């Protein structure tokens, strides 16, 4: 439902949230606490009434772990990649994986990519 009605600002907010989530995830486990999630919504001016937040949290924290997987949150908003994008990502990865080991060291990425 949300995906169909996303405006340009909406897309910027969602992608910005993803970046923000990665920054506040200090231990790099892919999860956010309730306080971190609430803080992120406030930073992006997505404040919602406390009762609505509690309902949202219950949906997002389906495992009742008091944490939200922010990867699953963004996939829920954007959906899975279509086949064209998946094929493009696979093709790029195959170029980066010089030794066909299944992992790409940062040294190999630096050989192929310039952020300038």
pLDDT digits (tens, 9 = 90+) for 24-76: 888 888 888 888 888 888 888 877 888 888 888 888 887 778 888 887 777 76
Instruction: For each of the domains in the chain, give its residue range(s) and CATH number, in order of start.
Output: 1-78 (1.10.238.10), 83-112 (no CATH)
Cβ neighbors of 73 (< 8 A, separation 6 or more) are 21, 60
Please indicate whether residue 116 or residue 87 has the higher confidence score (pLDDT): 87
Beta bridge partners of 32: 68
Residue 48, CA atoms < 13 Å, CB-side half-sphere: 12
Beta bridge partners of 31: 69
Going by pLDDT thresholds of 50, 70 and 90, the confidence category of residue 7 is: low
Q: Phi and psi for 32 in degrees, rounded to 5?
A: -120, 145
Provide, rounded to the nearest whole percent, the portion of the chain with pLDDT above 90. Answer: 1
Distance CA 26, CA 45 (A): 22
Hey, which bits of 1-116 come out as E strands? 31-33, 67-69
Going by pLDDT thresholds of 50, 70 and 90, the confidence category of residue 9 is: low
């Amino acid at each position: 439902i949300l995906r169909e009605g996303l405006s340009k600002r909406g897309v910027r907010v969602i992608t910005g949230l993803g970046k923000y989530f990665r920054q506040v995830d200090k231990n790099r486990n892919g999860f956010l606490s309730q306080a971190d999630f609430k803080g992120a919504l406030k930073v992006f001016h997505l404040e919602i009434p406390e009762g609505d937040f509690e309902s949202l949290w219950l949906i997002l924290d389906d495992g009742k772990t008091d944490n939200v997987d922010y990867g699953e949150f963004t996939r829920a908003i954007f959906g899975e990649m279509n086949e064209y994008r998946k094929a493009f990502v696979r093709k790029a990865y195959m170029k980066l994986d010089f030794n066909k080991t299944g992992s790409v060291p940062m040294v190999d990425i630096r050989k192929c990519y310039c952020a300038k």
